[in-house]
Amino acid sequence: MEPKRADDDVIVDLLDVILRDGAVIEADAIISVADIPLVGLKLRAALAGMATMTEYGIFEEWDRQQRQRALAGDELADARFAEGPTDDPGQLEGEEP
């Protein structure tokens, strides 16, 4: 009796490989009528996890901006926490009355 691999794991394994290693899809298409080109399409798509994308230089600027926003948000949250609770339950901490 040989062990069998469950078919359900195939999709999970494929997704794991794509997110870890990434995949690039390139396609060119030209739509013609009577040998007259009407529409051209050039497609390049990259699919990978964010760690892989930034490792290859894709979305570096976006990643940097998101990290800066997160740090600024943490500093703002720390400042609001230091101010203490408000008396008005509808007012957010740190918000002007």
Q: Which of 68 and 2 is assigned the larger pLDDT?
A: 68
How does residue 58 score in pLDDT terms, banded at 50, 70 and 90?
Answer: confident
pLDDT surpasses 70 at 5 = no
Tokens of 92: 């957010």
Q: Could you tell me if 17 and 41 lie in one domain? A: yes
Please give the structure tokens belonging to residue 16: 């794991």
Task: Domain of residue 59: give its range.
Answer: 49-83
Question: Same domain, yes or no, for 66 and 39?
Answer: no
pLDDT of residue 33: 95
Q: How many structural domains does the chain have?
A: 2
79 & 57 share domain? yes
Task: Supply the pLDDT for residue 92.
Answer: 55
Tell me the mean pLDDT in the region 40-62.
Answer: 90
42 and 14 inside one domain: yes
Distances (CA, A) of 12 to 18, 22, 46, 47, 95: 10, 14, 19, 15, 45
Residue 80 DSSP label: H
